[in-house]
Chains A and B, each alone.
Chain A
């Protein structure tokens, strides 16, 4: 029995941990010039180049800003819909319809956004038809734009439906309706009930997932690849671009960014986990 346990853990290490460790080790060695076709030995040159160019820092803050704005708007909208339409959303048809956005992957959402929000897209045509714009150039840049409007809109459209379903689930499991009723009967106003009872319960139960979704958005690839600008680029797009460079010295710089990104995400995971553990203990 004990041997079987060891075999199970061995498989876990082999499939679950080894690929991650191997890929991180390879990226780390490449970033320091220890391995790689054009590299000749240990150097800090690529790390220096990455920080001096400023592109990575710009990309990091750009990614954080987009992920943060998208997460905040998605969570806020989902909370509002949950509290405003909790009963209606459990109706026969609506309870099916609100699941449908989960059937749309990021690449399809991006394709659809190009079709409706580009300068020759559906809304541009509609506005032209009803006389709001007089041509293709009058329609604003909503995709591949400097403010990442297209990326943010798609992130919201992908993430918000998930949070809505999540909050509806928690609303029912944690019996928020009964708690709200109790607080009202004890004399709390509608505003107090929402801010002091319903919202704290919903957020406390889901904040780990909210944080995880922020991290997922930080590393999103296909959506910013299709809807983003040439510069700045979101982290994953920047990493893949650098790794596919014809200039071999740039590949090492790509691995530097990959290593930093992996470290940031790993630290975030450890922090989330340790916080969750202490929360579990307190509960």
Chain B
């Protein structure tokens, strides 16, 4: 029984590592046709082209980074400040429940129903439109995330600063922000990843014009260009792996 258990554990470890090795191998390959078990070409040919303009992957990586950083910064900051008012409100329960509706709804369905307004405002198919759409789904996450921060203890600190003569600015800059620094980092990376991994909403609002990395993966699947698809996957995976290496909390959070 214990031998079986050991086999199960090692099988799980292999199952975790296999996609990383396989995708890297595929991104370094070409001319890998059925029934060959290994590729005919193995080298850096595909990756060299990433630097060039042929695949557009470098641009996709850059635009994904810009979108995700914008979403993460705005969602984290607005989530932090607005969650204070929600958490201290006498109808906190109701307001928090309302926050869950956009959070729990499939982003692609949300985006499809919102697209009319984006079209009217003139941001349909633009990078700004995608940032705003992703912010709309990342914001409720940030709001729920920070709701546990605003508790009785924090309120007492705020009152203490006020009693000692500190104004609102001092309270935020000298007390609240230093206390919430760790949480803000976690929220920043979590909202960054929500945006980084997002596909459905981006495809609806971006209408194929805003080609983030997830959109590229799907395009390469449709074109049956699996080598470039694998490269896009590797580029998508690298930032979260780095984050896990730096701090696991940046990627895993048992929210809610």
Listed in ascending order, the chain A residues whose CB lies under 8 Å from chain B are 4-5, 8-9, 11-12, 15-17, 19-20, 22-24, 26-27, 81, 84-85, 88, 94, 96-109, 111-112, 114-116, 120, 122, 124-126, 128-129, 136, 157, 161-162, 165-166, 169, 208-209, 212, 215-216, 219-222, 226, 235-236, 239-240, 243, 254-255, 258, 261-262, 265-266, 268-270, 273, 277
Contact = CB atoms under 8 A, between A and B. Distances in A.
Given A9-B86, A12-B86, A16-B140, A269 B35 contact: no
A52 to B, nearest CB: 22
A5 B218 contact: no
A11 B254 CA distance: 27
Contact of B240 (A24, A98, A102, A166): A102
A120 B104 contact: no
A239 B252 contact: no
A111 B217 CA distance: 8
B105 A20 contact: yes
Contacts of B51: none
Nearest to A234: B106
Closest A-B pairs by Cβ, 5 of them: A8-B85, A219-B106, A23-B113, A103-B240, A105-B197
A15 B82 contact: yes
A221 B108 contact: yes
A273 B97 CA distance: 7
Interface in B84-141: 84-86, 88-89, 93, 95, 97-102, 104-110, 112-114, 116-117, 135-136, 139-140
Most chain-A Cβ atoms within 10 A of its Cβ — which of B86, B97, B214? B97
Most chain-A Cβ atoms within 10 A of its Cβ — which of B102, B143, B168? B102
B175 interface: no
Interface of B: 5, 8-9, 12-13, 15-17, 19-20, 22-23, 26, 34-37, 78, 81-82, 84-86, 88-89, 93, 95, 97-102, 104-110, 112-114, 116-117, 135-136, 139-140, 143, 168, 196-197, 199-200, 204, 214, 217-218, 221, 226, 229-230, 233, 236-237, 240-241, 243-245, 248, 251-252, 254, 256
A99 B248 contact: yes
18 contacts: A5-B85, A16-B102, A20-B102, A23-B114, A23-B117, A100-B241, A103-B241, A103-B244, A122-B37, A136-B34, A209-B254, A216-B104, A219-B108, A222-B200, A239-B112, A243-B112, A255-B113, A273-B97
A235 B200 CA distance: 13
Given A215-B104, A243-B112, A221 B200 contact: yes
Contacts of A15: 78, 82, 135-136, 139
A114 B139 CA distance: 33
A169 B251 CA distance: 14
A262 B240 contact: no
Q: Is the interface of A mostly helix, strand, loop or mixed?
A: helix
Contacts of A94: 13
Contact of B106 (A5, A105, A126, A220): A220
Contacts of B105: 20, 219, 262, 265
Given A23-B113, A124-B34, A108 B217 contact: yes
B109 A116 contact: no
B217 A107 contact: yes
A104 B136 CA distance: 23
Contacts of B244: 96, 99-100, 102-103
B221 A114 contact: yes
Contacts of A11: 78, 82, 85
Contact of A269 (B13, B104, B135): B104
A125 B91 CA distance: 60
A222 B216 CA distance: 13
Given A111-B221, A162-B252, A239-B112, A129 B106 contact: no
B197 A106 contact: yes
A209 B256 CA distance: 7
B150 to A, nearest CB: 11
A167 B2 CA distance: 21
